[in-house]
Structure 1
């Protein structure tokens, strides 16, 4: 059997794992919900859930990867008891990786395109309506989006084709260092703007009233807690083997709970610091921060338009966004090309070439969903193919996949608690909290199931209430 590739350094492992976790959700959701639910007060709740929910499952996924020395393709085969069927999940886990890339390649292409548009000055002199027309014009132009989607696929597969150390590790480390450097430069520019103080106060001052009540006086503490729980869970890209693959490349020198904490700290740092760019800038120019694509492609171009030297700062921001998106693309592509290598013994070259074509074809429905296929509204009026793909991934494969990894590590019918602990606690560093076994066996699975059910309720609960109301 060919010896498993390994990372050249521990820093490479941490930066690449964090690069997979640091994605678009860090930028277009975390700052918004922090601001909406009381600033620092919300962050404290988020950190609690990150520690009790996200990081333990990440350590479990790392452990499955390191113990098996395999990707999700065959890791369960290696570790499960004889006759068990845990390995059936491998197909769903890999489906999650493909599903993520089916829309992520298109959105990453938008980021690169907006780098160019911002640097060219396409937004200079435009009002809010004009900025909106730029975005809608992009969505209605499948040929333009196709060029940048193909560019993203070629960059991602090109990096992976160079191998783990010379390609994925070397290039991702450079991208992550540049990402952090650009982010810090943007923070300095943002917090020194006239009027930025109000934005900092809104973002950083604990506001327990906003944590408990909305503007209309409705009690929203439960909503805020669920938002913190969901963000802590989904921010780490758990459940589809995207973290297990990197566990399979590391040695036994360090305990895996400590490694999970390092990745979680870096992921949270980036998410939090992005807010230090967005809120001071938005408040300085009287723009209300939004969430999702409207924040990135509508709100922020308006902010940069009003800012002295806005073309430069806007271009830098979208370079940062492109690095955040591409770090995720490269990490997930590495998992995708390793699957057939582990499963069927494919060569590295064959796996790269076949998956390059596959990812390109699978990305087309999302890209065409904004124009040619816009009449297809899978989840109701106003929805597009991307919404369906995101629902399948975020509301189904991620929570259910995380539940599989969790139960596999704590159940006697799976890998088992002692086997998991023996792997997780090899090396030096932070030990996994062994004494909390009842929590991991009973309470944590219930929390994950709750997140899964609430995802459906948030998506379809209003429609159900309307039906019963009639």
Structure 2
């Protein structure tokens, strides 16, 4: 079927965000697990506050221009992440390239729901007190991932995600984010206050907020670029898909700034939770997943009302995981509805099942069948590497090249004043593509510094 002829998904009034619902949903897609454990890890490794300031610069230089381009393409095309390029005025080849931004989020979702399931499991364990009844937190985590329970919680995460997306844009995704994003903000503030009032927390706050520019290197700049790119959910079709549901009266410039600010504030508060807590209890913040599921439970067990705060922390993680998972699922749902004319319910049912099946090898490779490794990487890690380090930068590069060089109606679609449009176009043509290529070369391992 010719991509111009796909009419299965009409994007009618029932498939529209309200202004506030759109911004909250877009922030929900950006607010994920990465900023809670990856951001502290790389911040600790690459210079603390100096790295955080560099991250802010990269967010403005590469993140916001690409973010706005994706939203504009989606709204102009009113199609899926693949066909919006064509419907906005591009050649057929852009639709083929756009398919990368449908494949990538589906791959990511297949292993993302696994970790989302872990957070749900740990929230239950924490509130029940079982998490803190045994001080061997490493053994608990290893025993959990080696058993069958991760599969059950993976199913729970898939079902919750699918149920929300099946309810549609206004009745499902928007309503879900309007409830959970404010709840997430409350949890962030409560946990931040608890963290910065811990004994010895000042050292963690100082590390995070007092810059030491001597620690910055060329590699830290590339890592900051990569995290700024990924933390905004760029290159994975989410913002193109969400852009298709945005009202024409919505200012994309204002929305871009709001989404960027939301992502930045979340990263800031996450740092003010993780660093004071880790410094207070003598924990190395550069531990990746083990920090969240092994080291931090040990810290919560040692603090007053640790059961409560530990439970709230994992509820926070679960909310962050599910808001992102919902966004990831909507991308292929939008495509299948448009491409084959499936109903939303049918699309959710089929793709949720396929997501679970695709994710099974990743789940099994982390404990039950450790032999699912290739070239020294577990199947889970390979899925993460291919999708996050290769497909996402490629998706972002496609967006910048299309919007910067081939999109003739970009000015009208963006809705920017002449001066700001020239700045935006300059960034898309001469700055963002170079930086995205550098990120791609670095994350794929081809560029070593």
TM-score (norm 1): 0.89
- Tell me, yes or no, if structure 1 residue 99 matches structure 2 residue 107: yes
Kindly state the Cα deviation for residue 170 of structure 1 after the two structures are TM-superposed. Answer: 0.4
Q: Give the Å deviation of 1:430.
A: 11
Q: Tell me the equivalent position of 1:51.
A: 60
- Across the aligned residues of Structure 1 and Structure 2, the Cα RMSD in angstroms comes to 2.0
Conserved in 1, the CA contact under 8 Å of 2:16 and 2:169?
yes
Map of 2:400 onto structure 1: 406
Say how many residue pairs are matched.
440
1:160 aligns to 2:162 (yes or no): no
Q: Does 1:313 align with 2:296?
A: no
Deviation at 1:46, TM superposition (A): 1.1
Equivalent residues of 1:161, 1:348 under 8 A apart:
yes
- Could you say which residue in structure 1 is the equivalent of 2:22? 13
- Residue 240 of structure 1 and its aligned partner are, at CA, apart by 2.1
Q: Which residue of 1 aligns with 2:120?
A: 112
Look up the SS of the partner of 1:29 in the other structure. Answer: helix
- Ranges in structure 2 where 5+ consecutive residues have no aligned partner: 1-6
Match of 1:296 in 2: 292
TM-aligned CA deviation for residue 37 of structure 1: 3.2
In 2, the alpha carbon distance for the partners of 1:430 and 1:202 equals: 42
Match of 2:411 among 400, 421, 424: 421
Counterpart selection for 1:65 from 65, 70, 74? 74
1:139 correspondence with 2:145: yes
Change (3 A) 1:125 1:285: farther
Mapped contact 1:159–1:330 kept (Cα < 8 A): yes
- 1:192 paired to 2:180: no
Tell me which of 269, 272, 287 is aligned to 1:273.
269
* TM superposition shift of 1:251: 1.3
SS at match of 1:85: helix
Q: State whether residues 74 and 90 of structure 1, in contact with CA within 8 Å, keep that contact through their aligned partners in structure 2.
A: yes
Separation (CA, whole Å) in 2 of partners of 1:361 and 1:430: 49
1:36-435, aligned counterparts within 5 Å?
Answer: 36-81=45-90, 84-124=92-132, 126-127=134-135, 130-141=136-147, 143-209=148-214, 211-212=215-216, 221-380=217-376, 383-411=377-405, 414-416=406-408, 419-425=409-415, 432-435=420-423
Output one character per residue of 1:325-379: Cα deviation in whole Å (capped at 9) or x when no partner: 0001111112221111111211122212211221121111111112343113224
Residue pair 2:48, 2:211 contacting (<8 A) in 1 also = yes
- Cα offset, 1:39, TM superposition: 2.9
Question: Are the equivalent residues in 2 in contact too, given 1:376–1:384 (CA < 8 A)?
Answer: yes
Determine the C-alpha separation between the residues in 1 that align with 2:242 and 2:351: 19
Cα pair 1:366 1:385 within 8 Å, conserved: yes
Residues 300 and 3 of structure 1: CA distance in aligned 2, closer, same or farther (over 3 Å): closer
Q: How much has 1:223 moved relative to structure 2?
A: 2.0
- 1:50: Cα distance to partner? 0.6
Would the alpha carbon gap of residues 288 and 184 (structure 1) be closer, same or farther in structure 2, given more than 3 Å must change? same
- Kept in 2: contact 1:62–1:247 (CA 8 A): yes
**Which deviations, in whole Å up to 9, do the C-alpha atoms of 1:381-409 show, x marking residues without a partner?**
xx211110011111111000101011111
Residues 436 and 156 of structure 1: is their aligned pair in 2 closer, same or farther, counting only changes over 3 Å? closer
Q: TM-score, normalised by structure 2?
A: 0.93
Question: Which deviations, in whole Å up to 9, do the C-alpha atoms of 1:238-268 show, x marking residues without a partner?
Answer: 1121111111111122332331121111011
Deviations 1:432-465 (A, max 9, x none): 441464442233212111111111227x959xxx
Does the 8 Å contact 1:112/1:318 carry over to 2? yes
Change (3 A) 1:57 1:105: same
What CA distance in whole angstroms lies between the structure 2 residues aligned with 1:277 and 1:181? 13
